Structure 1
Amino acid sequence: MTREAYSFVRTFPAEPARELRVDRHYLLCASAGTLRLEAQGQAWLLPPARAALIEADRPIRVSIPQPVTTASVLFDTGFTAAPPAPLTVFDLNPLARALVDECGAWGESDEPLTAYAGTLFAALAAVTWRLAEQPSPVTVPAGRSPELRRAIESTERQLGGEVRFEDVAAEVGLAPRSLARRFADETGLTWQAVLRRMRVLRAIEELAAGDAPVTRIAHTVGYTSLSAFNAAFRELTGRTPTQYRASFRP
């Protein structure tokens, strides 16, 4: 029988979306690169120094827009209580990062955990379960209906330029008023609010990918004004782009 908790580190190449389901509670931590996670009609970005906590047997869709290195910790459902939500993404604090590193010495095995290792994994669960009660606000609705999903995909393809709502509506075969109603009913947000969130998430991917200047990233995601970009970024993340990038390298 596989031990009650174990850890591993892996590097994955870029790959399209696929479904992931595991029979254990899954703590997924990004140390380099980013992942996109989707579940229950919402999409999250997992950049460095953040973690996702996924409840056992919950299907999620995972896509990797660029190569990523992750540290994973899996907990048997009898070892710890269920997470506070099926899927949450949150910031790791220094204690959690230290515990993830320390637990890395115990991989998958038929040998039971030592008393010391069991204490470490229990402490990691206690810390990260509590952190998961304050999830990241940077999410994007995935949409339920085919039309809204296509509208969101169309908007994302055009982030680097001028995106017109009327053009997106025409592409999915709906009148602008009908599409606006779909956004309100299915996401609780306007199209403009979704666009703003998508631009911030794309900017986070760019910030994690290298050392490109913030001004260039702002233009890449469709902002002509650096001050407008900084304001939108701070509104959603609580930090400036420079501060957010600094948090990738604690």
Structure 2
Amino acid sequence: MLPDVYCLHREFEPADTQTFRLDRHYLLYAMSGTLRLQADGKRWTLPPARAAFIPAAKEVEVSILTKMTSASVLFAAEFHRDFPERLAVFEITPLCRELIRECMLWGPETGELNEYAQLLFTTLASVVVRLSLQSSRCFLPIPKSEGLKEALNLTEANLTQGLSFKRISAECGQSPRSLARRFSEEMGMTWRDVVKRMRIIQAVEQLATTDASITEVSFDCGYNSLSAFNATFRELMDQTPRKYRMSIR
């Protein structure tokens, strides 16, 4: 019989999208590597700076983008009374990360938890509940039409190069007016807004997983101006790149 709460610590190779739904609350976290999570019409990337709380019975789609080491925690539904009923993706804090690392000692085969382990998992659950109140804005709406999916993939593949909406629309075989209407109707934002958000999402991942300077990150993400990068980052993340990096380290 499985314990009320335990940690799954495993290594995974890159893998295509899989759909799953569990009968337990699930804290999805990659210690290294990057995941992609899709649910509720939204798409998030989960580098080591970000985690997802998935409530029991919630169906999600997960892709493993790079070789990954996971340290995810599964909670019985009754383990903590204040767990949110909705999916939440949030920026992970140093405290949360260290609690997960310590909880790795107790897997599904460990059996009944001792007093110390019980306290650890209870503290982690309380931290997750608090962090879930501040959902990450680093997501993209999922397009419905194949034409828009193709445009989105082309945009993402050329994010650090000189992007042109006219070129993207031509390569997708659509008129600029038609493609612009699809972005507005299916994603609720313009193509330029999508580019800005993609670049900031990429910047968040680099700030979390590399020691590159903020200037280097801004250029790598397609910005020619550090001040423009800082302003856009703050608009989406409500803090500067420097403060963000400090908060996750």
Q: TM-score range by the shorter chain?
A: 0.7 to 0.9
**Residue 27 of structure 1, CA deviation:** 0.4
Give the corresponding residue for 2:113. 113
Look up the equivalent residue of 1:132 and give its one-letter code: S
The aligned counterpart of 2:60 is 60
- C-alpha separation in 1, matches of 2:216 and 2:110: 50
RMSD over aligned Cα atoms: 2.5
Q: Which residue of 2 aligns with 1:100?
A: 100
Instruction: Answer whether contact 1:49 1:247 (CA < 8 A) is retained.
Output: no
- Scaled by the length of structure 2, what TM-score is found? 0.86
Q: Is the 8 A contact 1:22 1:57 kept in 2?
A: yes
What SS does structure 1 have at the residue aligned with 2:2? coil
Check 1:7–1:220 CA distance in 2 against 1; reply closer, same or farther (3 A cut). Answer: same
Distance 1:52 1:124, change over 3 A: same
**Correspondence list, 1:192-203, <5 A:** 192-203=192-203
2:132 is aligned with what amino acid?
A
Residue 219 of structure 1 is matched in structure 2 by 219
* 8 Å contact kept, 2:91–2:248: no
Give matches, 1:1-250, under 5 Å.
Answer: 1-81=1-81, 83-84=83-84, 86-109=86-109, 111-114=111-114, 116-249=116-249
Q: Distance in 2 between matches of 1:242 and 1:33?
A: 22
Q: Measured at CA, do residues 32 and 246 of structure 1 come closer, stay the same or move farther in structure 2, by a change above 3 Å?
A: farther
Q: Which amino acid aligns with 2:124?
A: L
Deviation larger for 70-79 or 153-162: 70-79
| Local SS of the residue matching 2:117 | helix
Q: What TM-score comes out, normalization by structure 1 length?
A: 0.85
Contact persistence 2:6–2:73 (CA under 8 A) = yes
- The structure-2 alpha-carbon separation of the partners of 1:95 and 1:193, relative to structure 1 and needing over 3 Å to count, comes to same
Report the AA paired with residue 88 of structure 1. Answer: A
Which letter does structure 2 place at the counterpart of 1:216?
A: E
Q: Which runs of 5+ in 2 are unaligned?
A: none
Q: Deviations over 1:92-151 (max 9, x none)?
A: 345434433343332103733345534443332233123212101111122122222222
Alpha-carbon separation, structure 1, partners of 2:209 and 2:118: 35
Distance in 2 separating the partners of 1:10 and 1:193: 36
CA distance in 2 between partners of 1:235 and 1:53 (Å)? 25
Q: Give unmatched runs, 5+ long, in structure 1.
A: none
Q: Residue type matched to 2:44 in 1?
A: W
Identity of aligned residues (%): 47
Q: Is the CA contact 1:180–1:190 (under 8 Å) kept in the aligned structure 2?
A: yes
Counterparts in 2 of 1:119 and 1:36: CA distance versus 1, 3 Å? same
